[in-house]
């Protein structure tokens, strides 16, 4: 990770889209921790993190990943059912 990469997502961070983030959110008394509690991150990560701690953000990401896997599996099963039951309209089958 270079100095120009976001410490949260490792993505490039052009200066125009960087923001200051309180690692421990201000709502959790993070402002009392001083300047060592502030880092520069990309705007997207800062908006996503909001008032969460980094640990809470990781937990959210893991939950979202689990849900995404479930949705992909459900979509795969629906595709199988459509194929097995011949439910795809002729216009989409290429008949």
Number of neighbours of residue 54 by Cβ within 10 angstroms: 14
Beta bridge partners of 44: none
Q: Give the model's pLDDT for residue 61.
A: 86
Rg (CA), the chain: 21
pLDDT for 14 equals 84
Tell me, what's the pLDDT at 94? Answer: 64
The pLDDT of residue 91: 66
By CB neighbour count within 10 A (0-12 exposed, 13-18 middle, 19+ buried), where does 21 fall?
Answer: buried
* Residue 85: predicted pLDDT: 82
Supply the pLDDT for residue 67. Answer: 93
User: Scanning the structure block, which residue is given the tokens 């201000």?
Assistant: 26
Low-confidence residues of the chain, pLDDT below 50? Answer: none
């Amino acid at each position: 990770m270079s100095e120009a990469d976001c410490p949260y997502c490792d993505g490039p961070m052009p200066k125009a889209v960087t923001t200051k983030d309180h690692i421990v959110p201000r709502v959790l008394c993070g402002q009392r921790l001083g300047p060592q509690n502030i880092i520069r991150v990309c705007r997207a990560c800062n908006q996503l993190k909001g008032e969460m701690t980094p640990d809470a953000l990781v937990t959210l990401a893991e939950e979202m990943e689990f849900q995404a896997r479930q949705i992909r599996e459900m979509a795969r099963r629906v595709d199988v059912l459509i194929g097995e039951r011949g439910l795809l309209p002729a216009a989409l089958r290429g008949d």
